[in-house]
A and B are shown apart, each in its own frame.
Chain A
Amino acid sequence: MSNKTMQKMQPKKEAMPKVRWISLVVAVVVLVSLPFWGGDYIVNIFTLILMYMAIGEMWNLLAGYAGLVSLGAQAFIGLGGYSLAMISQVFKLPFLLGFLLAAVVSVVFALIISFPIFNMKDVYFTIGTWLVAEALCVFFQTWGFVNYNVGYNITVARRLSSTSVYFIAFGVGLIALLAVVFILRSKFGLGLMAMRDNEAASEIRGVKLYKSKLICFLISSAITGVAGAALYLNLAYIKPTVGFGIDWTVSMVFITVIGGMGTIEGPIIGSIIFVILRQLLYNFSGFSMLILGVIAVVMILVAPKGIMGLINNKTGFDLFGVKRKVKISDFAGIDAASAE
């Protein structure tokens, strides 16, 4: 590495932590105080952004870090939504238990399907997950226990103020974000990234492939399930074709791809764009999906790492610092040695 690039890189590194902490503090203050100064409309928008960010992060954790491209994440949204509906409508229990049930059901279901699903490689995994979700959808339509394809009105949702739904969404978003940050900053996360970049080499270096992927899959499923319950607290009505609809995964893919796959900040940016675009074009719902589809395709063609990838390339900025930065002095030594 030449001296010029070293000089270019050094000042960036020093400026980063300050910007990072300031933006994080500002974000937290704004989000916590939002219901006290924002109108109902703003609060609703942020509720949606937080929940979509949560599911986007979870899809990103699988696709961007564990190398598991799933098109069946809607299975867990549906399971979460139904957990909430069953707890509050059928068993008449406090609705917060629905979130607990959503996590438990999602983890158990993820564990069961992991046996067949993890046998499948690459594309087959993608198809397999989708088939599982579709099968679940058809099964719920024929299952009397969940009221066939009629579904449930989730009446508890109408009794809650938009502020309380907002704070639930805030909690879900925070859990999702913290989970991803902690996973990726841990040694386990380092193993994940090594696995994504080169499976064989990482396995030789001691990364347990199956176990790592399974843990990721279980965590992602649990939080997606909880987010599903939160989403249905907002939607207030669930039926199989919508709860298990591929549209959920479509939104996760768009959010991640547009924001930046394999970056933590990506789904945050992606969900803001996704929700705002959808609200702006609320009366033309097909149109917003059409535009998002085109943006996603163009994004992959011109900027495979999404908007965050562009920002990161230009400025070196990242909010959570999960990338292991190689110390320049390490390279300097090699450089000096090879120069001789």
Chain B
Amino acid sequence: MLQAVITGLLLGGLYALIGVGLSLIFGIVKVTNIAHGDLMIVATFFIMVIIQHIVGNIYLALAITIVIMAILGFLIQKFLINTVIDQGAETAMLVMFGLSIAIKNALTLIFGAGNNALPSPVKGINFIKSELVSISGQYAVNFIVAVVLIVGLALLMDKTPLGRSIRAASSDTMAAELMGINTKSMYVWAMAITMGATAVAGMLVGQTYSFFPYTGTQFLIIAFGVVVIGGMGSIFGTLIGGAILGMAQMIAAYFLGTAYQTLAGYVILLILLTVRPQGLLSKKMRK
């Protein structure tokens, strides 16, 4: 039981990092990025290809991928989402849905449907091993990286001029524009930053699980879960959302068996969505 709680908590860190990108884009651009999971897997594949063909070092590969993903995010926001955003959130969501399907099938055409894995320096090493609990090195690294990155993102949004402009653009678009902020270009920056962070999530996911072109959907649903629990748009909320979702899944697996782990996650989410449609931790929206 203690093991389940601790594993769940550490798993929650990774979940939070997967969810934070979705949450940020929803909070700032007000668009549900349905392609989020697939874009993350794109990053994972980029890292894999770079390791295999260009540089051997995974961290160097990650650095390159962060830049690539940021550029990709820039392009997606500038040429896809910004074009349709005035037609409403649903239209933008459908654009991302189309993109998601295109990505999945493009990846399958290039890499085939088989399983892949990223090398990990800490694979198989136990961070703590005792009779009571054991923590795998990978889970510990995931958790630490996720927390550091999420705190970093929160500081970026809170303290820097860029972060302030982005928040201004999202909280009152018209006022921000009157103050001389180009809101659409702020959205582009936000997307680029988010995609950079998503690349890190992609690496950790690739190291922790085996992945294939269709894995994106599964992580999108996890990201939804995190964001629904933590509240759409809240950065720190994703940490709490991730922890709750991770622990709920692990505890359900402990009591009901691993077959029910996923089902338990879905049911918890649906109950939460029903009882508190605006998210567990988000404040009531101003009317």
Contact = CB atoms under 8 A, between A and B. Distances in A.
A32 B174 CA distance: 57
B263 A294 contact: no
Contacts of B266: 131, 134-135, 138
A135 B274 CA distance: 15
Contact of B101 (A124, A250, A300): A250
Contacts of A120: 273-274, 277
Interface in A7-30: none
Contact of B102 (A63, A122, A293): A293
A286 B105 contact: yes
B263 A297 contact: no
Interface string A273-302: 000000000001011011011101100110
| Size bracket of the B interface | 35 or more
Given A123-B93, A294-B102, A301-B83, A138 B262 contact: yes
B277 A124 contact: yes
B98 A128 contact: no
Given A142-B260, A293-B105, A297-B80, A122 B95 contact: no
Contacts of B259: 141-142
| Size bracket of the A interface | 35 or more
Contacts of A122: 89-90
B277 A290 contact: no
B63 interface: no
A134 B266 CA distance: 8
Interface string B196-240: 000000000000000000000100010010001000100000000
Given A138-B263, A289-B101, A297 B95 contact: yes
A99 B192 CA distance: 49
Nearest to A261: B94
Contact of B98 (A69, A116, A123, A300): A300
B3 interface: no
B40 interface: no
Contacts of B217: 246
Contacts of A254: 98, 101
A209 interface: no
Main SS class of interface, A: helix
B57 interface: no
A226 interface: no
Given A126-B32, A289-B105, A300 B91 contact: yes
B254 interface: no
Interface in A101-116: 115-116
Nearest to A258: B98
B269 interface: yes
Given A120-B273, A123-B89, A289-B101, A131 B94 contact: no
Contacts of A300: 84, 91, 94-95, 98
The residue in B97, B260, B267 that gathers the most chain A C-beta atoms within 10 A of its C-beta is: B97
A132 interface: yes
Nearest to A256: B94
Interface in B88-122: 89-91, 93-95, 97-102, 104-106, 108-109
Nearest to A116: B274
A253 B108 CA distance: 21
Nearest to A122: B89
Contacts of A139: 263
The residue in B98, B106, B273 that gathers the most chain A C-beta atoms within 10 A of its C-beta is: B98
Nearest to A142: B259
A323 interface: no
Given A127-B224, A131-B266, A132-B270, A301 B95 contact: yes
A293 B91 contact: no
Interface in B66-92: 80, 83-84, 87, 89-91
A134 B263 CA distance: 8
B164 to A, nearest CB: 26
A54 interface: no
A257 interface: yes
A312 interface: no
A253 B97 CA distance: 9
Interface of B: 26, 32, 34, 80, 83-84, 87, 89-91, 93-95, 97-102, 104-106, 108-109, 217, 221, 224, 228, 232, 259-260, 262-263, 266-267, 269-271, 273-274, 277
28 contacts: A69-B93, A71-B97, A116-B270, A116-B271, A119-B277, A120-B273, A122-B89, A122-B90, A123-B26, A123-B32, A126-B93, A128-B270, A131-B266, A138-B262, A138-B263, A250-B97, A253-B98, A257-B98, A284-B109, A287-B109, A289-B102, A289-B104, A294-B102, A296-B101, A297-B99, A300-B91, A300-B94, A304-B84
Given A123-B93, A132-B270, 17 more contacts: A63-B90, A69-B93, A115-B274, A119-B277, A123-B26, A124-B273, A124-B277, A127-B228, A141-B259, A142-B260, A292-B101, A294-B98, A296-B101, A297-B98, A297-B99, A301-B84, A301-B95
